[in-house]
């Protein structure tokens, strides 16, 4: 059942248990259809460190050393919206179960980056950042305020986003 030639870093099931996605340091995202045994592989161009599947089982988010969070259709593997983050590694992605927004834990690898660690919340439907929290590694016990990217005070069209981000 292996579709990877190197270490698997993370796996995620769809809510109905039909599909299982895996991320690998070989740059491959594999999506297995557990009903019929087929596997689709997606070459990403960099190590894949994290995957997550949205609550509607439509989108798979994959990220790692490519400097982007990329969405793929769970059933077809076709590419969807993409958030480019420059010279960054993304260590974790998660979907908001209510709005479908994507949160990502990011390390900026640019040599001139003043603050290297940040979190970003992205609305893939509107293709816009909802907010960021920079330098959160230094405030592990103090929740860092989430700064809305569009100045809405933490509100999006789909409703409020978290106004504080706590990393523990």
Q: For residue 119, what pLDDT is reported?
A: 87
Q: For residue 105, what pLDDT is reported?
A: 92
DSSP-assigned letter for residue 135: S
**How far is residue 138's CA from residue 134's CA, in Å, rounded to a whole number?**
10
Does the pTM surpass 0.85? The reply is no
DSSP-assigned letter for residue 153: S
Name residues whose C-beta falls within 8 Å of residue 109's C-beta, 6 or more positions apart in sequence.
Answer: 67, 87, 88, 89, 116
Total number of residues shown for the chain:
168
The position carrying tokens 């992605």 is 93
Apex 135 CA angle, 134 and 136, nearest 5? 95
Instruction: List the chain pLDDT tens, one digit each, 168 residues.
Output: 467 677 888 999 999 999 999 999 999 999 999 999 999 999 999 999 999 999 999 999 999 999 999 999 999 999 999 999 999 999 999 999 999 999 999 988 877 766 678 889 999 999 998 888 875 444 333 444 444 454 444 433 334 444 444 433
Q: For residue 114, what pLDDT is reported?
A: 63
């Amino acid at each position: 059942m292996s579709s990877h030639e190197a270490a698997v870093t993370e796996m995620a099931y769809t809510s109905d248990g039909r599909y299982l996605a895996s991320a690998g340091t070989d740059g491959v995202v594999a999506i297995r259809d557990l009903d019929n045994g087929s596997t689709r592989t997606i070459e990403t161009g960099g190590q894949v460190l994290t995957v997550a599947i949205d609550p509607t089982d439509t989108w798979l988010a994959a990220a790692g050393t490519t400097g982007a969070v990329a969405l793929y259709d769970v059933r077809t593997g076709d590419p969807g919206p993409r958030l480019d983050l420059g010279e960054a590694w993304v260590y974790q992605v998660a979907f908001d179960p209510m709005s479908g927004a994507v949160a990502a834990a990011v390390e900026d690898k640019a040599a001139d980056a003043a603050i290297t660690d940040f979190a970003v919340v992205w609305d893939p439907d509107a293709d816009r950042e909802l907010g960021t929290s920079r330098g959160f590694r230094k405030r592990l016990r103090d929740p860092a305020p989430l700064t809305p990217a569009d100045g809405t005070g933490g509100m999006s069209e789909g409703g409020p986003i978290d106004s504080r981000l706590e990393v523990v």
